[in-house]
Structure 1
Amino acid sequence: MSELERPWLANYPKGVAATIDPDSYTSINAVLERAISKHRDRDSFYCMGKSLTYGEFDTLSAQFASFLLNTLKLSKGDRVAVMMPNCLQQPIATFGILRAGLTVVNVNPLYTARELEHQLKDSGAVAIVVVDNFGKTLADALPDTAVKHVVTTGLGDLLGGLKGALVNFVVKHVKKMVPAYSIPGAIRYRDALAAGANAPMPKVEVKNSDIAFLQYTGGTTGVAKGAMLTHRNLVSNMLQAGAWISPCVSEDRQETIITALPLYHIFALTANGLVFMELGARNILITNPRDMPGFVKELKKHKFTSFTGVNTLFNGLLNTPGFDEVDFSHLHLSLGGGMAVQRSVAERWKAVTGCTLSEAYGLTETSPAACINPLDLPAYNGSIGLPIPSTDVCIKDDDGKTLAMDGAAVGELCIKGPQVMAGYWQRPAETAQQIDGDSWLHTGDMARIESTGFVFIVDRKKDMILVSGFNVYPNEIEDVLASMPGIAEVAAVGVPDEHSGEAVKVVIVKKDPSLTAEQVIAYAKENLTGYKRPHVVEFRTELPKTNVGKILRRELRDAAPKA
């Protein structure tokens, strides 16, 4: 760590060290191997009534790695996309890819064909694993990509026996969630595991500098770009977050963590998938957290100890009948991130569960955790917390001058630490814009830092819109809608929304006088993932602009009503 003022260290929780050793594991694979050797007979992942022990997870992920190397003949460093919600197949595929020395490209299953095609082409992925529900999207996106191998699976494929067959039947024929699709040459997931079982997994040397994940995130250009997260980045953040929560979790008694956030999202990937794996925890995978009654029903089956989520998830549960009847007697860790935790939600969560909802802060580019509130706080404090071990923060003005940590000065929050990404995939210019010559990552968030070291987010420097923890960038929305024949000009802004924190609003100047809001929303539905679609459409005769013609989004945002 560099020599600078670190007032936060004086307020660290008892037992939390100031630093971690990012090289204590050689790779994520070494983390998995240790967890397997220590906790082979413990449950690792649970989904829809089916549990896998760490030993079983070892076997299955090794089989998948063997399939990738022996059957598909993939080479170290090749990119493999994973397009699945939370189900047993997801972590098996992810860790199988890592064990094979390959790079995981996490894909949001809700992407449209246009969005998916961009990510596959940009990453150069040569293979993809997909759940049948999203096979049609993949089939539409494949033709112009470099993908040579496709592995498909039904949600129930690893549940076994009658249960698995029933889940697949209901998903496909009752709920009609699997549109017809055809991908010639696609291999079924269970066949891939069987093929992998026929040959031993080759020994692959994986270094901590190797890229583990291409984790895609938006940018000021509106084009999603891949943050190169190395094994060392992820291991560092696992150790940092693990050290922070160590006073209230234990490897000796098995922790049970609720994983409702998708494992393809960086928050759940690191916090639930790595931190709790090192602890030998049991991960309860929630496939469809939007089904709140079903979610609450599942919660009643488990004596869970830890819970991560975003504000909208906590709020949704609190407003679902029966949630207050869940057994919270074992819950000792509730962590909120991905978006700001609202005071009203935090206070209600504490009242219902008896457990303080601690707010954390991070970015895809920081693997993700950078700041977390002390877990022994008696109540919500409005802060994003203190910088975690081996992490430095500061605030800078537009000229790059470091400002005082006096609680009054406001500047752009900058972060330095071993969890900061290696850069953006094949985008050196954008990497240089984000990480300065002194290795500070510029977050784009405006913040103030109190003399105690607590950090408070004030505003966002960028025009990014945050919908239920997902970044939405106005330029992408504008680029898509600008291609609609009836639109002359369009600007996208975020407006407050009680359900998702923010929602997208578009302000449009018509080219076709007969254009309607319904037509705009229908067009957006064809080209944008749900959380990116406009909830509010407003028509104007002109857009406010600077003297050089740049649209003044802030002016639109300030005048915008709630969604």
Structure 2
Amino acid sequence: MSGDHPSLAAFLDCGPAAEPAFTFDGQAISRADFAWRVDQTTAWLAAHGIGRGDVIAVWLVNRLEWLALLFAGAKLGAIVAAVNTRYRSAEVAHLLRLSGAKLLVVQASFRSIDFAAILAGMDRRAVPELTQIAVVGAGKIESTWPGLRFDAFERAYPPATLPPQDIDAPVLLYTTSGTTKGPKLVAHSQRSLAGHARAIATALALSPQQHSLLAMLPFCGTFGMTAALTFVAAGATVHVLDAFEPAAALRALVEHKITHGFGSDEMFRRILALTDAPRPFPHAEVFGFAAFQPGWREFAETAAARGLPLHGLYGSSELQALFSIGGKGAAFADRIECGGQPMSGEAIVRVRHPETGEVAGPGISGELEIKAPSRFLGYFHNAEATRAAVTADGFFRTGDIGRLRGDGSFIYETRGGDAMRLGGFLVAPGEIEDELKACAGVADAQVVAVEIDRQPRCAAFVIVDTDTLPEPEQLIARLRERLAGYKVPARIFFIDAFPVTESANGVKIQRNKLRALAMESIAGA
């Protein structure tokens, strides 16, 4: 494992380490080759005017360039804003505007994703700070912004003059929705990223020669990035999928004798469904999962019987993924619950009683509050939201409901508030509602989470304008142009008024009644 210096650059100065460092689509990348590519990318960024404090937005699938840009940005003191590859024009514009990104690095297309077409639907006036767009790989993007090619691996640029390292400055921005109307940007430093990666590597007792990771989650999110950085820190090999595909994941697990992987229960369910082998992964040691689908406990039992050891996890953009895990020594029922033991011995988890407001003891459900070295710096350019999210004594108010066990571990029970889990992502209803209310003929809208064919989806209730009556198909088509597919409502219902209740704090819409009405309508269809 690399030294104790809490920077990303220190990962490249590992002691004993496995080779290769990565495989990308069958291409082996040695550690020396990766370090060279980071240096080349650093020079490329500097040559195009990127320096300390500048924001680079990265809109790529899992490519070598993604990681090279992060490590290079850290060397220059720049900040990388991670853009979800499933975002569409409204979401990308929001992130670029909020981050103040100066440069956007993107690929022209990937499978069914036409990044160029999405950019074409974005108004340049909405993102005034963006000055240029760089294209990675084949293809072109026609836009009103000045364009250039990312050719750092093909052409030599003058070596960059590096500023003194500030490992406590922002270096990576994740997006999170929480319960607000639009995504906030969660800022992490090199200290929080590198320190957390090393803490996980220590907690999992990773060995460079014995262990390897299948990276099948997107680098644009903390789940995928944290796992990748952990194995780089440990000096172990990372086998990367550009995007999750069950057959490719199965092939990699078998051919490379993968020992570790992280994903959702649904991802592992789809992988196991492709093989009839009774125990297809004899080298599997720890496979951490987040439970998103109904019946996940039964599936975990099935997976265990077939030699796939699943461990429950907990994390968030603010605390980073893999914050905690169900321990190997725990009873099976406890091991698979989301939560577990924090990876860092310095982390403190407490529960705030929902009625008394006091810190509660073991067994009492309440809001989880966490203090840990992996905690974020704050919400980028949003001091008010940061103050609201962090207690006076430095604990992050997670908004999640859970309870402590007597042994110091904890159980995550549910998400507080109205946030929805769709497509594996936490989504704020207000984000979808705002897009609906921007449609012709819509006076107001409310969105709730529902379950359709055992899949988490959302349904929308719309109050129409008296002058026009839009068709549901028109509204859905509009949203498909503006939002990621998992955010598009599966059903749209027209309603005369929303059910409300009076309280001391004013009138509140009863989302539970809307959810029940939606499920009743879906069941009767």
Q: Write the mapping of 1:455-474 to structure 2, written as runs, cut at 5 A.
A: 455-474=410-429
Q: Out of 216, 220, 224, which is 1:264 matched to?
A: 220
**Contact 2:107 2:135 (C-alpha < 8 Å) held by counterparts:** yes
Which residue in 1 is equivalent to 2:357?
401
2:438 pairs with 1:487: no
Q: Out of 89, 94, 119, which is 2:70 matched to?
A: 94
TM-score (norm 2): 0.89
Deviation at 1:514, TM superposition (A): 4.7
**Contact 2:217 2:243 (C-alpha < 8 Å) held by counterparts:** no
Say which structure, 1 or 2, has more relative contact order (CA 8 Å, 6+ apart). 1
**Contact 1:383 1:454 (C-alpha < 8 Å) held by counterparts:** no
**Contact 1:312 1:499 (C-alpha < 8 Å) held by counterparts:** no
RMSD over equivalenced CA pairs, Å: 2.5
**Alpha-carbon distance change, 557 to 95 in structure 1, aligned in 2, over 3 angstroms:** same
**Contact 1:45 1:285 (C-alpha < 8 Å) held by counterparts:** yes
2:7 pairs with 1:49: no
Q: C-alpha distance in 1, partners of 2:20/2:280?
A: 21
Cα deviation 1:527-549 (Å, max 9, x = unaligned): 11112111232333321112243
Q: Out of 348, 370, 383, which is 1:415 matched to?
A: 370
Q: C-alpha distance in 2, partners of 1:142/1:358?
A: 44
**Greater share of helix residues, 1 or 2?**
1
**Alpha-carbon distance change, 26 to 445 in structure 1, aligned in 2, over 3 angstroms:** closer
Q: Write the mapping of 1:163-562 to structure 2, written as runs, cut at 5 A.
A: 181-182=142-143, 185-190=146-151, 192-195=152-155, 197-246=156-205, 249-251=206-208, 253-271=209-227, 273-289=228-244, 291-319=245-273, 321-322=274-275, 324=277, 327-337=280-290, 339=292, 342-352=296-306, 354-377=307-330, 379-381=332-334, 382-388=337-343, 389-398=345-354, 401-407=357-363, 409-497=364-452, 500=455, 502-511=456-465, 514-547=469-502, 548-561=506-519
SS of the counterpart of 2:449? Answer: strand
Q: C-alpha distance in 2, partners of 1:488/1:245?
A: 53
**Contact 2:131 2:145 (C-alpha < 8 Å) held by counterparts:** no
Q: C-alpha distance in 1, partners of 2:368/2:58?
A: 32
SS of the counterpart of 1:520? Answer: helix
Cα deviation 1:188-233 (Å, max 9, x = unaligned): 222x3344x3422433322221111111211432121111111111
Query: Higher mean Cα deviation, 488-497 or 387-396?
Result: 488-497
**Contact 2:253 2:281 (C-alpha < 8 Å) held by counterparts:** no
**Contact 1:125 1:147 (C-alpha < 8 Å) held by counterparts:** yes
Q: C-alpha distance in 1, partners of 2:23/2:144?
A: 30
Q: Write the mapping of 1:146-165 to structure 2, written as runs, cut at 5 A.
A: 146-154=129-137
Residue 504 of structure 1 aligns with an amino acid whose one-letter code is C
Deviation at 1:454, TM superposition (A): 3.2
- Give the aligned length: 504
Q: C-alpha distance in 2, partners of 1:463/1:358?
A: 27
Residue 550 of structure 1 aligns with an amino acid whose one-letter code is K
Unpaired segments of 5 or more residues in structure 1? 1-22, 155-167, 173-177
Q: C-alpha distance in 2, partners of 1:412/1:378?
A: 25
Which residue in 2 is equivalent to 1:63?
40
Q: C-alpha distance in 2, partners of 1:493/1:220?
A: 12
**Alpha-carbon distance change, 198 to 338 in structure 1, aligned in 2, over 3 angstroms:** farther
**Contact 1:254 1:280 (C-alpha < 8 Å) held by counterparts:** no
Q: C-alpha distance in 2, partners of 1:45/1:136?
A: 31
How many percent of aligned residue pairs carry the same amino acid?
25
Q: C-alpha distance in 1, partners of 2:195/2:276?
A: 35
Q: C-alpha distance in 2, partners of 1:338/1:89?
A: 30
Q: C-alpha distance in 2, partners of 1:358/1:420?
A: 22
Cα deviation 1:454-473 (Å, max 9, x = unaligned): 32233322100012321110
Q: C-alpha distance in 2, partners of 1:147/1:239?
A: 34
